[in-house]
Amino acid sequence: MLVTTEACDILLTTDVVSEDSRNAYFQMIFSPIVNITPINESHLYGRFQVRKVQDLILLNIEAGAYQYERSRDLVSSSNLDMYLLSITLEGQYIYNCTTNSGSSNIEVGDIILIDLTKSFHGVSYGGKYLSIYIPKSLLIHQLDGYRICQDIILKANKPMTKILKDYMLGLFDVALRLKEKEASVTIYTLLSLLITALRGAAPQSLLELNEKIQGAEVLKGRVLHFIDLNIEDPHLNVELLMKTFRVSRAHLYRAFDEDNGVITVIRNKRLDIAYRELLNPINKKSVTQIAHECGFKSSNQFYRVFRQRFGFAPNEIRLKKSRSKIYVEIGKGLYNHFKNLATNSVME
């Protein structure tokens, strides 16, 4: 059972479940975002307030110590194309991005911006945090010729960090009372403050795009939209993209150079769709059928690239006992995941 109130929008707490179920419940709350494990033999506990402002999801967290990991497997299956903007209000934690060497200590007042399409791990020693989940498209739209090229930490002693902190806390406080037009202006202001803070405190983390690169970014956006619309078409390939957008092969590959080429993008998108379909307990189709429906012409090729990407064979997913719950959690969006936990029984 869950507690929900109008004032809190959604309130999730381990206090309403038995002590034996608290670890599993805590892990379930975070399941689309990170895999949680206790530190030593300690019990997991926490209280979570969830609010929503248009496409932003705000999560106010008070929790004990735990280890967390967003694995490459979870990145692919959860499909969260978002940034996580988080401020530490009490306590501290260690953050490690898999793509960067070394670890970072996040202390009281620090704000971190994390790309949820990348894997990371770390340890939280308990405390209070305010997290805001921002769709990438919203932030990219306001970057105006810049690109965020790595996760960014804004230290507490910087003036813009303090201003951003106050605005984040204020936004959470008034989130449920904002009218539609007020919400739009509020989100625009939040993102403007964030970008100003990033440019001032971490300019090395922002890549300025020249006109040529900006043109490639525009092309890339259009191509990605076309790919998403036609991802299940087995005839979707470089030749079709060249013909559709009237560009050369070289031009197309330059636009997707950081992604190891457009063919890699298409293949990975197909693999991610196949992964989610294999998690779906309702889908009784064979692995071969799912592979063909996702645009793979050969089941042998599908098995090979699937194992390369995820580290195990596609048929192994269906052996997971928890795959039904995993599918429900990742298939309906992050906010609906929290909402479903608030309206359904906690432990079945």
The pLDDT assigned to 38 comes to: 93
Instruction: Note down the domain range covering 245.
Output: 215-319
pLDDT digits (tens, 9 = 90+) for 254-303: 888 878 889 998 998 898 888 878 877 677 889 999 999 898 988 899 99
The pLDDT assigned to 211 comes to: 44
Which pLDDT band holds residue 347 (cuts at 50, 70, 90)?
A: very low
Residue 345 counted as domain residue: no
* Residues 229, 206 share a domain: no
Q: Which two tokens stand for residue 31?
A: 């399941």
What is d(CA 241, CA 246) in angstroms, rounded to the nearest whole number? 8
The pLDDT assigned to 165 comes to: 96
The pLDDT assigned to 203 comes to: 60
Residue 193 counted as domain residue: yes
Most confident of the following: 116-125, 162-171, 311-320, 321-330: 162-171
pLDDT digits (tens, 9 = 90+) for 193-235: 998 888 887 665 555 434 445 556 678 878 888 998 898 888 8
Res. 163: pLDDT tops 80:
yes
The pLDDT assigned to 47 comes to: 95
What is d(CA 251, CA 331) in angstroms, rounded to the nearest whole number? 35
Report the CATH number that the domain containing residue 249 is assigned in CATH.
1.10.10.60
What is d(CA 209, CA 146) in angstroms, rounded to the nearest whole number? 6
Q: Give me the percent of the chain exceeding a pLDDT of 90.
A: 39
The domain boundary, picked from 161, 189, 211, lies at: 211
Report the CATH number that the domain containing residue 78 is assigned in CATH.
2.60.120.280
Q: Which two tokens stand for residue 246?
A: 């009237």
Res. 145: pLDDT tops 70:
no
Q: What are phi and psi of 111, to 5 degrees?
A: -120, 135
Number of compact structural domains in the chain? 2
For 146, the 3-state DSSP assignment is strand
CA end-to-end distance (rounded Å), the chain? 11
* Residues 149, 15 share a domain: yes
The pLDDT assigned to 60 comes to: 97
Nearest 5°: CA angle at 145, between 149 and 165?
A: 65
Q: Which two tokens stand for residue 249?
A: 């092969």
For 102, the 3-state DSSP assignment is coil
Q: Give me the percent of the chain exceeding a pLDDT of 70.
A: 83
pLDDT digits (tens, 9 = 90+) for 68-102: 999 887 887 777 889 999 999 999 888 887 656 56
